[in-house]
Amino acid sequence: MARVDQRLARRRGLLVWTLFGLAGASCVVGACGGETAPAQPKGWKDEIELASPVDLNPDPHILEIELTASLTDLSFTSGGTTAAWTYNGTVPGPLLEMTRGDRLIVHFTNDLPEPTTIHWHGVRVPAEMDGMPGHSQDEVPPGGTFDYDFVVPDAGLFWYHPHENAAAQVGFGMYGAIWVHPAPGDEEPDQGELGDELVLVLSDISIDSAGTLEDPAAGGDLGTVFGREGAMILVNGRPHPSLDVRSGLRQRWHLVNAARSRYFQLSLPGHRFTQIGSDGGLMNAAEEKDLLLLLPGQRADVLVTPKGEPDAEVGLTWTPYERGPDTAGQQQLPQEVMRLFFDSSDPEGDKAIVAPEPYHAKRVIETIDTNGATPIPLQLTLAKNDEGHPELGFNGVVYDDAQPLQATVGETQVWSIENTTDWDHPFHLHGFFFQPLDADGAPIEPRGWYDTIDVPTGMTSRFAVKYDNRPGMWMFHCHILDHEGAGMMGMLDLLRP
């Protein structure tokens, strides 16, 4: 919690700050006796508020919801509406806020004109809840239903999206975030200490001036090989929203990149990001960054302290990222994705804000012991099939022809993934967090748990993974969803010992 001069706080009637402090870690943003976070200007994040679901279950440790996929008319710009593909009628779908160890029950209905499933990206679910058609479940046909039911075992930001025709369905708006708060007693810093929290779901969408969604196969084979990016960048489903901030007050942003192909490289001119967490919760140390890179599928937990004069503004900016020849060519110029306005209602109050305490990481992340680990060498490949169309794959094999790799519960493997193509690929493994390794086999510092990492063109990326007791068939694939769809996906069969 930011410290303010007590006199000032009283004069401004902000005693609620004290109450907020006493409520401590059990008090999440938006859930403190009906108060939103008191430190920022009133209504500071109204423009990017995410929908919340209706909880059907009175048990505080169970979130039980109905989730329906359907086409919904939404307006992303002032001109016309778009029949977006949504969960419960919004883009993104509802934010599922839970505490580590809670149970999630989702009564899912598919009202789309085609089959779908839900994959819970990053959540260590049992294999039969993983949403992979043909392996963990049958696809849910139009009009069909499916019940998902599992415990969320880790704190952090996760997300959900379809795993059927995913490039199109995600590109049309189907994704949502799962925010799992630490449980009492977890080794996490007090939330209040770190500042007001925000969940930012980054994505993009392509619609024409009449509001019609772009053909998901636009650009043909070239579009597939590049990976299609939506022309309009969205933050929590809004193009270029704004946020009202108090100068000098630290904020904690939980970000997820839910775009079908776009790498999000973000800057905030005049500011630095302090990244404290990765895909799987907090890291063992913080990392200061001018540019924050999030691959499709990745999450980051960052501290930001906006600083500016009253009435000044600063833009959170997407900066082109070259992920191979001509990929930045789709959109060469930086684009502002969200604008931060400095509140001018109480400049005296701003002056009273004391610089936040430096962040001290407490999380211990042990080294996975790779002595005797099984090596798994893989190549990312691009070839042409007999008809001259691109085939993306692993070791020259596309998903439809692939045989599963194998592992046994309790086993440790070291994967080395060599990229033989001219483009970078964000590699994602379902179900398990892994530890990225350098060329010498040592964990990359700062340490964090990941489920998605970059494999830059011409390079080899390595990680260690130790399989816990969740046997079944797990997927791994490129999270540029056009690439996944063109064959760059494989299976790992995790066997009982």
- Phi/psi region, residue 156 (left: phi>0; alpha: psi -120 to 50; beta: rest), is left
CA distance 414 to 435: 9
Tokens 């009492």 found at = 184
Binding to ligand C2O (CB under 6 A): which residues in 318-357? none
Task: List all residues 6 or more positions away from 271 whose beta carbon is below 8 Å from its beta carbon.
Answer: 304, 305, 306, 307, 314
80 close to 210: Cβ distance less than 8 angstroms: yes
478 binds Cu ion (CB under 5 A): yes
CA distance 353 to 335: 31
Tokens 């609620």 found at = 16
CA 448 distance to own-chain centroid = 15
Paired sense of beta strands 489-495 and 472-478, if any: antiparallel
Choosing among ligand C2O, Cu ion, none, which partner's interface includes residue 323 (Cβ < 5 to 8 Å by kind)? none
Choosing among Cu ion, ligand C2O, none, which partner's interface includes residue 121 (Cβ < 5 to 8 Å by kind)? ligand C2O
Q: How far is the CB of 289 from ligand C2O (least distance, A)?
A: 23
The binder of Cu ion chosen from 132, 433, 483, 494 (CB under 5 A):
483
Task: Look at residue 302 and give its three-state secondary structure.
Answer: strand
93 close to 175: Cβ distance less than 8 angstroms: yes
Interior/surface letters 310-332, b for 16+ CB within 10 angstroms, e for the rest: eeeebbbbbbbeebbeebbebbe
Please name which of 477, 491, 486, 487 lies closest in space to residue 426, comparing C-alpha atoms.
Answer: 477
Q: How far apart are the first and last CA of the chain?
A: 48
Binding to ligand C2O (CB under 6 A): which residues in 373-432? 428, 430
Q: How far is the CB of 109 from Cu ion (least distance, A)?
A: 32
Q: How far is the CB of 264 from Cu ion (least distance, A)?
A: 16
467 vs 476, which CB is nearer to ligand C2O?
476
Binding track, positions 420-449, relative to Cu ion; x by CB under 5 A: -----x------------------------
121 close to 178: Cβ distance less than 8 angstroms: no
223 vs 431, which CB is nearer to ligand C2O?
431
228 binds Cu ion (CB under 5 A): no
Cα–Cα distances (Å) from 327 to 79, 81, 263, 322, in that order, read 29, 29, 10, 6
119 vs 246, which CB is nearer to ligand C2O?
119
Tokens 């969408």 found at = 205
Choosing among ligand C2O, Cu ion, none, which partner's interface includes residue 430 (Cβ < 5 to 8 Å by kind)? ligand C2O
- Region binding ligand C2O by CB under 6 A among candidate stretches 219-227, 241-249, 418-426, 472-480: 472-480
The binder of ligand C2O chosen from 163, 254, 299, 425 (CB under 6 A):
163
121 binds ligand C2O (CB under 6 A): yes
Q: How far is the CB of 415 from Cu ion (least distance, A)?
A: 16
The binder of ligand C2O chosen from 67, 213, 475, 491 (CB under 6 A):
475
Q: How far is the CB of 156 from Cu ion (least distance, A)?
A: 24
Choosing among ligand C2O, Cu ion, none, which partner's interface includes residue 425 (Cβ < 5 to 8 Å by kind)? Cu ion
The binder of Cu ion chosen from 65, 407, 480, 492 (CB under 5 A):
480
Give me the sign of the Cα torsion angle 408, 132, 484, 75. Answer: negative
Amino acid, res. 410: G
297 binds ligand C2O (CB under 6 A): yes
Q: How far is the CB of 118 from Cu ion (least distance, A)?
A: 22
Binding to ligand C2O (CB under 6 A): which residues in 183-222? none
- Region binding ligand C2O by CB under 6 A among candidate stretches 40-48, 314-322, 369-377, 471-479: 471-479
266 vs 480, which CB is nearer to Cu ion?
480
Helix, strand, coil share (%) of the chain residues, nearest 5 = 10, 40, 50
**Which DSSP string corresponds to 132-188?**
-BTTTB--B-TT-EEEEEEE--S-EEEEEE-SSSHHHHHHTT--EEEEEEPPTTSS-
- Region binding Cu ion by CB under 5 A among candidate stretches 161-169, 308-316, 460-468, 481-489: 481-489
Please name which of 466, 469, 463 lies closest in space to residue 495, comparing C-alpha atoms.
Answer: 469
Binding track, positions 44-83, relative to ligand C2O; x by CB under 6 A: ----------------------------------------
299 binds Cu ion (CB under 5 A): no
- Region binding ligand C2O by CB under 6 A among candidate stretches 95-103, 232-240, 352-360, 475-483: 475-483
Q: CA 335, 235, 111: angle at the middle one, nearest 5? A: 130
The binder of ligand C2O chosen from 45, 119, 425, 447 (CB under 6 A):
119
Q: Which residues bind ligand C2O (CB under 6 A)?
A: 119, 121, 161, 163, 297, 428, 430, 475, 477, 479
Q: Which residues bind Cu ion (CB under 5 A)?
A: 425, 478, 480, 483
